[in-house]
Amino acid sequence: MCAPTSTKASDVPKLAKLTSMTSVGDASSSSSSILANNAYNEDTRPSKDETSHIKAVTSTHSNHNRNTNYDMLWFLGPALICHLLGTPIYAIYAIGIARIISTRLTLTLHYLFFDKDNYLNKLPQKQLEREGSDYLVGTLLHMYAQIPLQVIFPAMFFSDASVIGVSAFRAFVAHVLLVEPLYYAAHRWLHIPENMKKMHGFHHLSISTLPSTSLVQNFDEHFVYIAVFGPAFMAPFLLFWEMHWTIIGAYLVLFDLINAYGHMNIKYRHPIFTSKYSPFQYLFYTPEFHLGHHAFFRANYALFMPIWDHMFGTWRSYKKTDSDRLLPQKQQDFVFIGHNAGLAHFLTCPEWDIYAAYGPFRTFKYLPYMVEFMFCNMVGFACRMVMSAYTCSRYMINDQLIGRVICICRTPIDYINPKRYAAVNKDIVKLIREQHKAYGTKCFGLGNLNKMKQVNDGGQLISDMVKADSYLKDKDVHVWTGDTMTAASVYHQLIDLPDFDKIESIFFVGANGKIGNAVCKQLLANYPKLKIEIYSLSHTIENPNVTYTSDLANLLNHKVAVLGKQLSLRKYAKALAPARGASSKKSEATPYKCRLILDYTVPYIPIDLTGFQNIDHHQIAVLETSPTTSNFLKGHFDIGFGLEQHQIYPCHAGCIINTVYERKTDEVGEICVNDMMTMWKRGIELGLKNRPLPIKGPVKGKLLDHYVK
């Protein structure tokens, strides 16, 4: 069904009006980002003078990039060394593994209960990439540091178990009397400008902190902390010549957890910790105390006991207020219904690994797809025993509406096996019913496989089932696929190529699908000289400029090929084999014309183009929204989709646009070509744009000088 195409100002609802933004997207890069960070209270956030020293510090460390390819070898290294030296390894690995598990569990719980729904405290991709490569370095170093101590002072780790209780008390006393003042002094020393630039500034790149930010330090700084924290168990041992490895391990795990608590981006204001009459205000900190340190830099230096800042005049009040400005928890205006896309998708779930939330899905080169899908099928079956859907991230739309991603517990096998289609559709309608009952949600979008033609005729069956449902039929619920926006995105990605009007022909895989069909019709209407060769046995477009072929190798005869349907990588390998390696230099003539393959399939899987240095394969139909210029979307709308930060698939965006413009009809079945330009204009008005293709060739900006000429 076609939506109205009018774009007069009077037709644009208030919700769709765009407001410019001045905040920055990555709250971890500069003094300006610190001042603009949404977590800071106007009354307590630092002034420009207070942050004038930050720019030099961040520029010193911002290009840090650690190679993590050998981390497993580093982890196994202590086992070999201990074997050679004849010292036990179990204590080292018991402590190390316990610390790693506790850290990962803390990250999972923090995301589930705080970050997932706090759209005003977005996790920056740049920060996640930096912290993800460094948060376990300290744990690994401590494992290696324990080896010589075990060799030199075996009684420090392997005294009789009867000393465990008294050793725990001694370690606690040593922490309070030695570690706390030592840390305060060392921390102030680290904030001397020279030391900030050399070491501690790396930790302070993270303004919007995570629990594991507590573990992210410059490499040299880890040795400072070994010297500062070591006295908690070294001093009691040297005094009494007895200690036990379980106490050392418990101390380190508990230390990590309390340190992580101080880096949680939350507010906790129980009077026992905030009242001026309570001694705990001085004896144990809250997350806001240490968040104030990350905001002000030159205040709140203490470890866990703020008394040292009170004693030396460096204590400063700080209040986190972003959660006070969240819209009501019960508000939910739009739901995008997703599903699992395979094992790689599982591994990008922030609940499992927050550091993998952004970026492309991982590939398993030697794992057959069906093996991967069968494993996911078992996981999906187990999940459906306790729940039918899983609630993902919450985000804000245009400062007034709330969107949510919710995945039904279905995996690729459910969309491959026709016998399961009915169950998939029932799960979708059940989810719609439950969300309307719980939140009054009326707007729903169907993600990827949930709108397959084979499953439900492009969403048409879901629309019919909603209208026939005894509860939903009179609730004014709308179901959208967002495919109109996807078609518009693909179309504009093509025509925006420099010199596209000079291209004689293109090759199209998937043109018989509703998106490809709509794109081809729009191209033929606006570029009457363009010829399109379609890879298909079915003839669905009758036009003198359209030809069909069953030979995939014909894509080499066209300068631009468009892929809208996933084919086996083996098919592409076979089709490309005759010309593979024909030329090794882009300046040389080649026996084929193809220079550019544009791919809008989801998920995007790179084709092996070894030997084709003249051909580039790029994913298209990915939109970008900039938080510096638009308030259209805030929060984690982009997590777990295999995309970079601030990117969104056009079908998802199209459903959100329908919500903003209060569309009153369903968007299912075939695409109304006339709506494509309307949807695209609305997207542009809301700050969306196609992700640009990588610029290559000698002249920046003249993309087709490289691809076509």
Q: Would you state the pLDDT for residue 370?
A: 83
The per-residue pLDDT for 311 is: 96
Can you give 638-656 as a three-state secondary structure string? CCCCCCCCCEECHHHHHHH
Residue 264 lies in a domain: yes
CA dist., res. 622 & res. 597, Å (int): 15
Q: What is the pLDDT of residue 13?
A: 60
Report the length, in residues, of the chain: 709
Residue 343 pLDDT? 87
Instruction: Tell which of 277, 311, 345 closes a domain.
Output: 311
- Give all strands (DSSP E) within 11-58, no chain letters: none
Kindly tell me the sign of the dihedral angle through the C-alpha atoms of 648, 652, 658, 659. negative
**Residue 154 region, left (φ>0) first, then alpha (ψ -120 to 50), else beta?**
alpha
Angstrom CA distances, 293 to 180, 200, 202, 296, 318, stand at 16, 13, 14, 5, 9
Instruction: Return the ∠ at Cα 372 (arms to 607 and 638), rounded to 5°.
Output: 65
Looking at the structure, do residues 17 and 95 belong to the same domain, yes or no?
A: no
DSSP string, 295-354: HHSSS---SS-THHHHHHT------B-GGGGPPPTT---EEEEE----HHHHHT-TTT-G
- 29 occurs within a structural domain: yes
Tell me whether residue 239 is in a domain.
yes
Which one of 251, 286, 311 terminates a domain?
311
Same domain, 278 and 155: yes
Q: Are residues 84 and 18 in the same domain?
A: no
Alpha helices in 479-535 (DSSP H): 483-495, 514-526
Cα 340 from Cα 83, distance rounded (Å): 44
CB 152 within 8 A of CB 231: no
- Residue 627 belongs to some domain of the structure: no
Give the closest residue to 572 by CA, choosing from 607, 601, 548.
607
Q: Would residue 683 count as lying in a domain?
A: no
Is residue 440 a part of any domain in this protein?
yes
Q: Which residues of the chain have pLDDT under 70?
A: 1-64, 365, 583-590, 695-709
Domain that holds residue 455: 1-37+327-480+643-677
What is the structure's pLDDT at 372?
A: 87
Query: Can you give the pLDDT at residue 40?
Result: 42
Show which of 283, 311, 339 is a domain's final residue: 311
Q: Do the domain assignments include residue 322?
A: no
Same domain, 332 and 261: no
Tens digit of each residue's pLDDT (9 = 90 or more) over 671-682? 988 899 999 999
292, 300 in Cβ contact below 8 A? yes
Burial of 84 (0-12, 13-18, 19+ CB in 10 A): exposed
Token pair recorded at residue 203: 């930790």
Q: For residue 512, how many C-alpha atoms fall within 13 Å in the half-sphere facing its CB? A: 12
Q: Is residue 455 within 8 Å of residue 629, measured between CB atoms?
A: no
Return the CATH number at 511: 3.40.50.720
Q: How many domains does the chain have?
A: 3
Shared domain for 74 and 172, answered yes or no, is: yes
**pLDDT at position 707, please?**
44
**Rounded distance, CA 408 to CA 113, Å?**
20
Residues 75 and 111 reside in one and the same domain: yes
Write down the residue that tokens 């209407």 correspond to: 525
Tracing tokens 């610190």 back to the chain, one arrives at 34
Helix, strand, or coil here: 294? Answer: helix
H/E element holding 404? strand 401-408
Q: Which two tokens stand for residue 248?
A: 């050392």
At CB < 8 A and 24+ separation, what contacts does 234-241 make? 234/156, 235/174, 235/178, 236/167, 236/170, 236/171, 236/173, 236/174, 237/153, 237/155, 237/156, 239/170, 240/170, 241/155
The predicted structure's pLDDT at residue 695: 60
Based on the fold, state whether residues 9 and 123 are members of the same structural domain.
no
Residue 64 structure tokens: 């840090």
Shared domain check, 426 and 333: yes
453 shares its domain with 377: yes
Which residue's structure tokens are 């744990």? Answer: 139
Rounded Cα–Cα distance for residues 258 and 264 (Å): 10
Q: 């800071």: which residue's tokens?
A: 40
636 within a domain of the structure (yes/no): no
Whether residues 616 and 648 fall in one domain: no
Q: Are 170 and 302 part of one and the same domain?
A: yes
Does residue 206 sit in the same domain as residue 114? yes
